Structure 1
């Protein structure tokens, strides 16, 4: 939750008038390196979504996360829709382990019925771009992929790219806020 990348993205979203609610998975609270089981992680996602709805009930609600958090959010949504969530945004979706390309981690996305936004760097070792493009294609019009040139899994760009990491964070925030606005305007809340 206090990761520099997450903090700077939350600040950039706030500047774009997008409220965010950051939270930690239990394993992070414990200071453990061993990630929580999917059931525990899904429960944390559901609790965070419920808290966001409680705090700001009148605002359109989107869920998502960075890396593991995005994958756990999408799995939770696939199992049972998150209450009131209009769409999911994934920052550096971990499609596969580094050095082991595959799409098995994306199979559950077929069961996600809300719009999804993938923000991915071209140098991300956890998501070979051609594989992620094929996943997005299978999801059809409900999926959007925004590719950040030269960015790695942390959205760090090399100096030779001509951009700074701060500029990339602003790009992510602008892309997310525009997508939230577009999806929030066209998704009906029941």
Structure 2
């Protein structure tokens, strides 16, 4: 028995790491909204094919990008749809806002969804509230949730400080995330303590 997880959620979580092994390699390809095109004149479908050939377990993309990738690419690769975004051109690039829903991700065939939160940012409250709302929708639809948790904001001197990173990860876990992506401290011992916690 898997505790409180539904069969569907457990199945999807297992599907994320279907290549086996002790790790999980999810490649974020959602940066085009924030920073511009991934590569000038690039072919996203071909890039995803290369990632699959070289052992990636899945890719994180926005809903429009998912439609530019052939469905056959996802026979051996998981699809994670990013649900919020911001651009580097914005007055506050750390302010993330919703751009897709759990239902849209499911219609695309997603194995999971992702939400980015910048803890300590001016809009932290709205971002954590969005993460919590998405977590509730993921519970409703038995869909895994990846939380991209970073410590970024006007008062942050070191977003990789172990206590701050540990706090950001705790927020993700308390809101209901299944997986967390973050910027870990440079010190391996500090990283090991955070993971153990």
Category of TM-score, reference length = shorter chain? 0.3 to 0.5
Task: Give the alignment's TM-score, normalised by structure 2.
Answer: 0.42
Ranked by relative contact order (alpha carbons within 8 Å, sequence separation 6 or more), the top structure is 1
Structure richer in helix, relative to its length = 1
Larger Rg: 2
Task: Give the alignment's TM-score, normalised by structure 1.
Answer: 0.43
